[in-house]
Every structure is written in structure tokens, then in C-alpha cells.
Chains A and B, each alone.
Chain A
Amino acid sequence: MATPTPKAVLERAHVACSIRFLRQGLPRSAIDNDQARPVLFAAIPDICSHLISLVIAFYCLATLDLLGGVSDAISENEQADWRTWLWEQQKTGPWGTGFRGSPYTNQPSPSKYDPPFLIMTYAAILSLAILRDPLDKLDRAGILKYLHLSQREDGSFKLYPSSEEYDLRMTYCAFAICAMLDDWSAIDLDKAAYEGGYGQEPHNEAHGGLSPDLRHRHPRSSFPVIIPRIVPRPSKRRERRQVPTSVCSRPSSERRRCVGYCITRGAGLQDVRIKNQMHVIASGAILGHGDLVNTSANADFLLKCQFKFGGIRKDPESSPDPYHTYLGLASLTILSREEMNLSAFETLDASLNTTFTTRKWLRDHLWSNTSS
């Protein structure tokens, strides 16, 4: 290929780009060419697409966290403002407590139409930890109630307690929040776990993406599917302190099947997109086999997607955005530390989707509260 691609990660440009997003938001509405009509912020993919400040903020903060931490890049005053904004999104109502994505529905009193969201709650707790907030304002009991009310009969989780929408994104976030709080008491693990077999029975409504049969699932579900499968079941008495990072005691053949799926058969089905790459890599890493991926081919592609003024694009033709910037860098730090000379970067805990330093912060500030 004749197209020149930068050979190194443009670390400083990515930091500057993330700070720009955090301070100034996203570029004004883009035109979606496919549909020949203006779509607000069409460059924002998937779960960012709701114009949700909090999710975009999470990806930008997580990028800064990977590239050496927020404190080097942002003044303490500004960080304090951001923490205040994040806490402002914590809302309590009949549904318990959680975080909104922004004040976009802003009702004068708690309303069914102004609910906190499970995904936002996950992103908010991580964002606060990245900003090194002491997390003492977190309403643990309220969040546990919220998780409890969000779980459905079949074990899956709803977008928010009064919603009827459910899919694996929410299951992942619910598990991750429990892991961060080190408290699994609010959810029914037997229902939510793989062995519960949702999606397996005939005519089961949960079939829309919750079946654990990886081989036949669309590859993009492989990342969240794996989480409920491998998070260690906390036994009632012992091992309360186990962190869900390593592969637990699944039968090895089952694990190999997952690894095989992720790395060969699943990966081959995917479009060439950073999101898909990250899912495969994270799945491989979580299963303890990130090393089986072709790291140089991965790095080559990611560098092609790097934008020279900062940010990473979903493919070499698109514009950069916070989501792909974070996923691309995260994937590089998992796979290509040595060959890309990324030793200054933080290491990522793929199962919780945050750096080990931030994970430690969560443990020090959230776990200690429970021991009382």
C-alpha cells in the first residue's frame, strides 16, 4: 500500500484531542452521507449516539487514563468541576439510585421519564474513579436497589427499571458494577449466569442476543457474553474479595472453545472495524489468551486508522471520535506494549475495561467501605 501511515502512536495528539472533546464537546452536526440527511453528530457511534455527554466523557477520560493519567493533563480545578458535574447526574427515585447521561430530560421531580441508566451508572463510577474521586458520595444502597429492580425474570437486565428493553450490554454493566462495589447481593446470579441457560429454551423471549452459544452468535456479542461466563461466582462465605479478572474454573475445553471462537472462527466473520478488533482482543485477553492474536497485523491496522491531528477513526476513511480513540488505544496497550514501545502507557484490565491503577482506586475506595 502506498498510503503513508504514522509508525508510532501519536500520544500527545490523542491527549489534546480528548481534552478538546471534554471541554468543548463534539464537532457540530455532521451530514450522514448514506442517508443524505442531517443527523446530529453522526460521527458518534452506537451507545454514544444518544448525545450523551457522560458516555463521551467516559471514553475521553479513559483515553487520558491509559495515556498516563488525568492529573498530568488537567488542572485540579477543572477536574473538580467535572467531578461536580458527574455527581450532579446521580439521581435517586422510586427506582433506587443511578446516574443519568446528562440533564437532558431534566424533570423538576423524579419521573419515569427522567431515569438513571444502567450503562451510565457503570460509566459514571469508572469516570469518577479515573478523576480520583473519593467516591464517598456514592449511594451504595440505592445503587444495589436499582440493580435489583433492573433485573428481569429471565436473569437479563433492563436499560432502566421501568424499561422493557434488555440486552447484553446491560448484563455486562450490572456485573461490572457489582464487581466494582464488591457486592453481589442485589442480583440473582443463578438466573444471570451462563448455566441458567437463558435463550436456550424454545420460544424464550431473551433470544434476541442473550444466548450463550457463542458459536452461533453474532461475533459482536462475544465480548459481553464472556463476562457473565467467566466472572467468578462469589461463594457466600469465602472468596468475597476475588476480582473478576482472570478466568475462573470453567472446564478447560469450554474455555478453549471460546478462545478458538474469538480468535479464529469469530474473528473471521467480522467486518474490519476497530470495535470488532477490540472485542476479539478483549475477549482473548480475558480468557487468558490475548497472546494468540496476530499483534503486528492488529497494530498495523490501528495505525492506519490514526488521525494525524489526534484521535482514532473507526476505519481509515472515517473521522476520529472518542469511542474509537479509546478502543484503539486500549487494544494496542493489551497487545503491542513492547513492539510499539508503549511502556509509558497504563495496562488495561480488559474485563472491567479500565486501567489497573484505576481498578486499584476502586478497590481502595469502594471495597473498604463494605468491610465495616
Chain B
Amino acid sequence: MSEQPASDPPPPLLYSMREEWKDVQPLDQSDLTNPLVPIFYPPEYKDAMDYFRGIVAKGEKSQRVLELTEHIIRMNPAHYTVWQYRYDTLLELEAPLDKELALMDELALTNMKFYQVWHHRKLLLLKYAQPAAELSFISKVLAVDSKNYHTWAYRQWLLAHFDQEDLWSLELPSVELLLQEDVRNNSAWHHRFFVVFDSGVREGDEDREQVLRREINFTKQKIAIAPNNLSAWNYLRGILDRVEVKYATLKDFVVPYTTPREERPVVEEEVLDLDNPRPSSSASLPCALAIEFLADICLEEGDTTKAAELFTSLAEEHDTMRKRYWDYRVKECLGTQSTRT
């Protein structure tokens, strides 16, 4: 084998050609002669994996294993076993975990959709219990993809696992910022629910009545800005269900969203009703989500006729895409009615 000319950027040298790996016996994948879905690995990957198998077979955990596993992970970030072996090697060598986390910062940004990147990070945090810096890292990732599922799951795990008041205290402001950027960010809405209702009671939030009022008002304001926002209506339903408050308590708020704009009489005081903010002037009305909500209020109140009427308007006019579902709700209303009478 000749040396690469110095002028060309050398390709990554195969492990099989490196003096310092001579002591490792590479292990072939040795598949059957007629395998199902044969995968034609590029030579660089195959070579690295042959040496990885060799390393695992002899149980070596050393600095060069960290180099090898990083190399493979960069080619295939989904390789569970390589990640696992890397983690065990880090622990065995008592390698500096802050350095590993710094590497993970880079790998998470380029591979944020891989489960393994996040799982490895979680394992590191369990050993290297310094969660404070993690939130700013998470913000960096969310700046690239504000709805990345793994990132949000990791954030919730981090908060719940370390359960430190100074971590929790930053969560609502951070969610509000994200919702200001994109009021339809369902991940941010979900996280708000997690922080407020699903993970214990925070300092300052002991008065649950007050928290409920705050959350309902917050959501109403967001709905007023953009009424056709599924996430906000889901949140509203979610908190009412959780605290077992009837939907009907919000009837005054909901009704103005269920009628076309011109039908509403213009009343000056409307603007001042902070409890029941009106739809913004640019909102497209009526809003199908509000009609559904009002229909559910009617069902709560036992008015199946009115509910059926509202569902029919969704089926025929305001949400024809889901006609079959609304027809089913109408049928359900009428069924209840006939068994009653």
C-alpha cells in the first residue's frame, strides 16, 4: 500500500491499514450466503464495524475505543450497540463527561431525530448531575426545530428527574416566548400543561384556583389572537377536564367565536371585557373549533337538539373535510334524544 500524495486530502485511513490497530482481530459480519435484504456497506463503514466487533469480542475498553465508536456514530447515529459500548467505555475509563457532553452538543444538533443521541445524553446526565446548562442547550436545539419530539421529551425528563426549583422557575417564561413566536406550537402548549398540571405544584402556584384562572385567561388571550388554533382549544379542554370544571363556564367567551362577524352587534364595552376577549379583527369567523366547543357545552346542558344543529353546521358548512365525523356526532346526539323521549 502506498502513501497518499501529500497534496490530496487523505481519505480516512482504514483500521485494517493502521499500525496501532494491528493487535485487534477484525470480526466479519459473516452473514449467510443468501441473506434477506443484504446491506452493501461502504468500505469505510464495514472496516470500522469489523474492528468494532473485534474490540467487543475481546472486551477492550480504551481511549481508541472512544475514537472508533465516535467514527461509527458519525456514519450511523442510530447504532444502539455502538452507543452502549461507548457509554460503558466512558465509565470504565472515568473519562471527563463534560467533554463528552460538548461532543454531544454537536452531535445532537446534526442528528436530533435519532433516539440514541438523546438516550446517551440522558445516561450522561445521570452520572454528571449538572442539569443547569442543559436548558440553554435545549433552547439551542429548539431554535433549530421548535417541535422536535425527542428534545421536548428530554426536557421533561430533565425537569422531573432533577426536580430543582431554579430549573422549573424558568419554564413558563420560556414557553411563553415560544408561543409568542408561534402560537400554534403544540409542543410548547403540551409542555405548559406538563409544567402547570402534570408535575406537581411549583412554588408560588399553591393557590390552584388562581392558577386555573391564570391559565384560562392566558389561553383565551391566545385564542383571541388566532381563533383557529387547535392547540389552544385542546389546552383549554385539557385543563377543564383535569380540574373537572364544566365547559359551560366558558360559554360567554365561546359564543362570539361561533358566529360570522357581521351578525355580531358592535358594542363598545366588548373591548373592555378582559375576562372574555373578543376575536381579533383579522380572525376568520365563525371558528369551527369554537362551534365544536359550544356543541359540547350544549351536550353538557342536555340540549341535544342544539348540539346536533351545531354539528350539522360543521358537517355541511364549516368543516366539510371531516363531514363523516361530524355526521357521526349528529347521529349520536339524535340517538341520545330518541332514547330519552
Stretch at the interface among B33-41, B214-222, B264-272: B33-41
CA distance A218 to B150 in the complex (A): 11
Contact digits for B108-122, partner A, Cβ 8 Å, 1 yes 0 no:
001000110001000
The residue in chain A whose Cβ has the minimal distance to the Cβ of B320 is A294
Given contacts A205-B161, A207-B156, A297-B321, contact A85 B40 (CB under 8 A): no
Tell me whether B56 and A35 are in contact (CB under 8 A).
Answer: no
Tell me whether B199 and A53 are in contact (CB under 8 A).
Answer: no
The residue from B31, B154, B332 contacting A103, defined by CB atoms under 8 A apart: B31
A49 cross-chain contacts in B, Cβ below 8 A:
78, 114
Tell me whether B187 and A291 are in contact (CB under 8 A).
Answer: no
Given contacts A106-B30, A114-B81, contact A220 B149 (CB under 8 A): yes
Which of A37, A208, A209, A289 neighbours the largest number of chain B CB atoms within 10 Å of its CB?
A208
The residue in chain B whose Cβ has the minimal distance to the Cβ of A45 is B113
Which of A22, A29, A259, A268 neighbours the largest number of chain B CB atoms within 10 Å of its CB?
A268
Stretch at the interface among A133-141, A158-166, A342-350, A353-361: A158-166
The residue in chain A whose Cβ has the minimal distance to the Cβ of B288 is A264
Contact digits for A16-58, partner B, Cβ 8 Å, 1 yes 0 no:
0000011011101100000101011100000001110110110
Q: B245: CB under 8 A from chain A?
A: no
List residues 167-203 of chain B with CB under 8 A from any CB of chain A: 186-187, 189-190, 193-194, 198-200
Given contacts A105-B53, A218-B187, contact A164 B322 (CB under 8 A): no
Tell me whether A35 and B110 are in contact (CB under 8 A).
Answer: yes
Q: A82: CB under 8 A from chain B?
A: yes
Given contacts A28-B40, A84-B32, A265-B230, contact A105 B156 (CB under 8 A): no
How far, in Å, is B90 (CB) from chain A's closest CB?
15
Contact digits for A71-115, partner B, Cβ 8 Å, 1 yes 0 no:
000000010011011101000000000000011111110011110
The residue from A37, A78, A102, A159 contacting B80, defined by CB atoms under 8 A apart: A159
Q: A369: CB under 8 A from chain B?
A: no
Tell me whether A26 and B234 are in contact (CB under 8 A).
Answer: no
List residues 217-235 of chain B with CB under 8 A from any CB of chain A: 230-231, 233-235
Tell me whether A51 and B234 are in contact (CB under 8 A).
Answer: no
Tell me whether B39 and A51 are in contact (CB under 8 A).
Answer: yes
Q: A215: CB under 8 A from chain B?
A: yes
A86 cross-chain contacts in B, Cβ below 8 A:
36
Tell me whether B328 and A165 are in contact (CB under 8 A).
Answer: no
A-side interface size class: 35 or more
B42 cross-chain contacts in A, Cβ below 8 A:
28-29, 40
Q: B15: CB under 8 A from chain A?
A: no
CA distance A170 to B123 in the complex (A): 19
Tell me whether A207 and B230 are in contact (CB under 8 A).
Answer: no
How far, in Å, is A137 (CB) from chain B's closest CB?
16
The residue in chain A whose Cβ has the minimal distance to the Cβ of B289 is A265
A220 cross-chain contacts in B, Cβ below 8 A:
149
Tell me whether A21 and B78 are in contact (CB under 8 A).
Answer: no
Tell me whether B35 and A85 are in contact (CB under 8 A).
Answer: yes
Tell me whether A113 and B81 are in contact (CB under 8 A).
Answer: yes
B189 cross-chain contacts in A, Cβ below 8 A:
216
A263 cross-chain contacts in B, Cβ below 8 A:
322, 325
Q: A185: CB under 8 A from chain B?
A: no
Which of B39, B76, B199 neighbours the largest number of chain A CB atoms within 10 Å of its CB?
B39
Which of B42, B84, B321 neighbours the largest number of chain A CB atoms within 10 Å of its CB?
B84
Q: B334: CB under 8 A from chain A?
A: no
A256 cross-chain contacts in B, Cβ below 8 A:
332
CA distance A202 to B322 in the complex (A): 36
B340 cross-chain contacts in A, Cβ below 8 A:
none
Tell me whether A113 and B114 are in contact (CB under 8 A).
Answer: no
Q: A272: CB under 8 A from chain B?
A: no
A78 cross-chain contacts in B, Cβ below 8 A:
34
Given contacts A40-B45, A103-B29, A215-B241, contact A24 B324 (CB under 8 A): no
Q: A203: CB under 8 A from chain B?
A: yes
Tell me whether A107 and B321 are in contact (CB under 8 A).
Answer: no
Tell me whether B40 and A216 are in contact (CB under 8 A).
Answer: no
Q: A13: CB under 8 A from chain B?
A: no
A292 cross-chain contacts in B, Cβ below 8 A:
322, 324-325, 328
Tell me whether B230 and A88 are in contact (CB under 8 A).
Answer: no
A37 cross-chain contacts in B, Cβ below 8 A:
110
Tell me whether B57 and A107 are in contact (CB under 8 A).
Answer: yes
CA distance A88 to B32 in the complex (A): 9
Tell me whether B324 and A163 are in contact (CB under 8 A).
Answer: no
A294 cross-chain contacts in B, Cβ below 8 A:
321-324
Tell me whether A102 and B32 are in contact (CB under 8 A).
Answer: no
The residue in chain A whose Cβ has the minimal distance to the Cβ of B323 is A294
The residue from A26, A202, A216, A218 contacting B200, defined by CB atoms under 8 A apart: A202
Q: B243: CB under 8 A from chain A?
A: no
Tell me whether A54 and B199 are in contact (CB under 8 A).
Answer: no
Q: A9: CB under 8 A from chain B?
A: no
B261 cross-chain contacts in A, Cβ below 8 A:
none
Given contacts A53-B37, A57-B36, A218-B186, contact A208 B234 (CB under 8 A): no
Tell me whether B76 and A51 are in contact (CB under 8 A).
Answer: yes
List residues 260-305 of chain A with CB under 8 A from any CB of chain B: 260, 263-265, 268-269, 289, 291-294, 297
Q: A204: CB under 8 A from chain B?
A: yes
B29 cross-chain contacts in A, Cβ below 8 A:
102-104, 106
How far, in Å, is B183 (CB) from chain A's closest CB?
13
Contact digits for B65-99, partner A, Cβ 8 Å, 1 yes 0 no:
00000000001101111001100000000000000
The residue from A25, A203, A269 contacting B39, defined by CB atoms under 8 A apart: A25
Q: B49: CB under 8 A from chain A?
A: yes
Tell me whether A163 and B80 are in contact (CB under 8 A).
Answer: yes
Contact digits for B283-326, partner A, Cβ 8 Å, 1 yes 0 no:
00000000010000000000000000000000000000111110
Q: Jot down 15 A-B pairs with beta carbons below 8 A, ordered by A.
A: A26-B39, A40-B76, A60-B37, A85-B36, A86-B36, A107-B27, A165-B80, A207-B156, A207-B198, A209-B149, A213-B198, A218-B149, A218-B152, A256-B332, A297-B321
Q: Which A-B residue pairs are the 5 nearest by beta carbons? A: A202-B200, A208-B153, A53-B37, A81-B34, A50-B78
Given A50-B80, A57-B36, 18 new contacts (CB under 8 A): A21-B37, A24-B38, A25-B40, A26-B39, A51-B39, A53-B37, A78-B34, A81-B34, A102-B31, A103-B30, A108-B27, A113-B81, A163-B80, A203-B161, A207-B153, A207-B199, A256-B332, A292-B325
